[in-house]
Chains A and B, each alone.
Chain A
């Protein structure tokens, strides 16, 4: 809790300090950064369609189309059924994870907050593990209807379910206590972890291996079905950003102060929680466990443009998508034709960056 308290003072200090500085400069800087990030995302997207284990490239495909030649069946499958859904899923998941991280950190006024902390990821993970281990016990008719969607659907509802429990626990008389929620989240995460442990014990050899790989996360199983399933939920969560930006900026002053300057505190908290649950649940559902995007991206951006959530949230979506696509390219190229689970890549890249940010911030704040 000391960390949370310290962070609160930091954020407050920053918010006040910066508002007395040169806001116009910052706004220009943020706009330039957004443009740069859009360009970077475009470049990464095209690269993501260009590089892969197979020699097919989007350029040769475009060349063929212009020349009026038909694409070979293999090229078509690699571009349209493997790389393109993977690109879309990478953008959605990366944006969802980074924005969820930024919103959580704003809501808890704690730079270490992450959907993992409030138990949303753990709840989604528990449901996914349950589906992997106990899925065979479901009635055949239900299993056939859900098919490959069983694990993602379970993860999604697991994320929502754990958020609901959390929210009920932390809300008294219409007031949600963020501190209670943080603590309840830690408890819920521990419980989900323990229940997952029981299921791991029950799992057979093959299921255990599936669990291991699922936990490391991957975009390798990207399909259009998954993209279409994740799109509406994540898009809805991202659409809440403009409203949340103003609310989270206000909340940085503390709940009481935010209420006084006309921020509908309770509504901001409600929407923030729903957005994070939806976006994280959907991301975990389609890609498994991918860490560090949610915690590293907002930090990097705050270093560049400060704590204002107006540029932070959209920029987080852009940078999160870009970084995840880059990590995915590394994952699929580095040991081709085999592939690394992407969670390993984001952790290997993310952990040192996170450490570096901590050290830098520590020096900057004289801690």
Chain B
């Protein structure tokens, strides 16, 4: 297909509302770029992965996605890089940018759908609906949500039941650069997944991810420490984390309660979130189960 005919097809696509990301499709987009790990996951879960021509650097799941050209980091996209894969539709997580790049893409009449990030079951459903609407795959979304929506509810309810009256306090550790702990506060994906899995975020004092002093970390006295699994030797990494001075005095380190999980399934809020809730809930309350 020539560039011109592809473009003329693209002209048929109109972006109705960027926030809602609703698109009226004259013809379905053939060359789709997905930006954001969970957006890519959803495109594949909808069975529309074959329409993708490129993805951003945060899209590492499923494995097929990694074979696609990488257009770079979601917040620092270059306009020519995106245009070079001649997309007719871009589906991106909220916060993709910069604005200059988005302006050029709009000028090139490339349809753009923004997918909101809300860290709740309703947020997952909205994301799936938004991506499906952009792809014109509403029927497939209905089928997928038929499985996912009740599954999320069940997983959440089970986690709540398991937590009962005494929910565990969970500290999310994003990174430990130079021995300093960067922890997850309110309004983060980590906070959202901890709550859904029946835990309490040990940090209530601030929003977002922030570095904390050792004393402040110790004072949060978490029962469980949650971290991302960056691959490599599992056991050693766990020991390293538990031997940080700030964590040694915490109940979590004393009892060896460290939970690690692949970052994308942990914080992605996508099709796998129900499974994530189940795994985390089991890990949080394994002592009770025994």
The residues of A with any CB-CB pair to B shorter than 8 Å are 52-55, 72-74, 77-78, 81-83, 148, 201, 204-206, 209-210, 213, 218, 220-223, 332, 335-339, 341
Which B residues are CB-close (under 8 A) to A205? 188, 208-209
Indicate if the CB atoms of B78 and A220 lie closer than 8 Å.
yes
**Which of B7, B103, B207 sits near A74, CB closer than 8 Å?**
B7
Q: Mark each residue of chain B from 101 to 116: 1 if its CB lies under 8 Å from any CB of chain A, else 0.
A: 1011001110000000
Indicate if the CB atoms of A332 and B4 lie closer than 8 Å.
no
A50 CB, nearest partner CB in chain B, Å? 13
Indicate if the CB atoms of A337 and B71 lie closer than 8 Å.
yes
A77 to B105, CA, bound (A): 9
A341 to B69, CA, bound (A): 18
User: Which among A72, A206, A336 has the greatest number of chain B C-beta atoms within 10 A?
Assistant: A336
A72 to B8, CA, bound (A): 11
A219 to B101, CA, bound (A): 12
In this assembly, does B82 line the interface, its C-beta being within 8 Å of a C-beta of chain A?
A: yes
Q: Nearest residue in B to A338 (C-beta to C-beta)?
A: B72
Give the size category of B's interface with A: 35 or more
- Interface contacts beyond A77-B108, A220-B101, A222-B100: sample of 5 additional A-B pairs, CB < 8 Å, sorted by A: A74-B108, A82-B83, A206-B95, A223-B103, A338-B70
* A339 and B72 contact, Cβ closer than 8 Å, known pairs A74-B86, A78-B83, A204-B207: yes
A339 to B208, CA, bound (A): 28
Q: Nearest residue in A to B79 (C-beta to C-beta)?
A: A82
Indicate if the CB atoms of A201 and B76 lie closer than 8 Å.
no
**Which of B3, B7, B107 sits near A81, CB closer than 8 Å?**
B107
Indicate if the CB atoms of A53 and B78 lie closer than 8 Å.
yes
Q: Nearest residue in B to A76 (C-beta to C-beta)?
A: B108
Indicate if the CB atoms of B7 and A221 lie closer than 8 Å.
no
* A206 and B75 contact, Cβ closer than 8 Å, known pairs A336-B84, A338-B57: yes
Indicate if the CB atoms of A52 and B98 lie closer than 8 Å.
no
In this assembly, does B85 line the interface, its C-beta being within 8 Å of a C-beta of chain A?
A: yes
Indicate if the CB atoms of A220 and B79 lie closer than 8 Å.
yes
Indicate if the CB atoms of B85 and A337 lie closer than 8 Å.
yes
Which B residues are CB-close (under 8 A) to A201? 210-211
Which B residues are CB-close (under 8 A) to A221? 98, 100-101
Which B residues are CB-close (under 8 A) to A55? 84
In this assembly, does B170 line the interface, its C-beta being within 8 Å of a C-beta of chain A?
A: no
In this assembly, does B99 line the interface, its C-beta being within 8 Å of a C-beta of chain A?
A: yes
Which B residues are CB-close (under 8 A) to A338? 57, 70-73, 78, 81
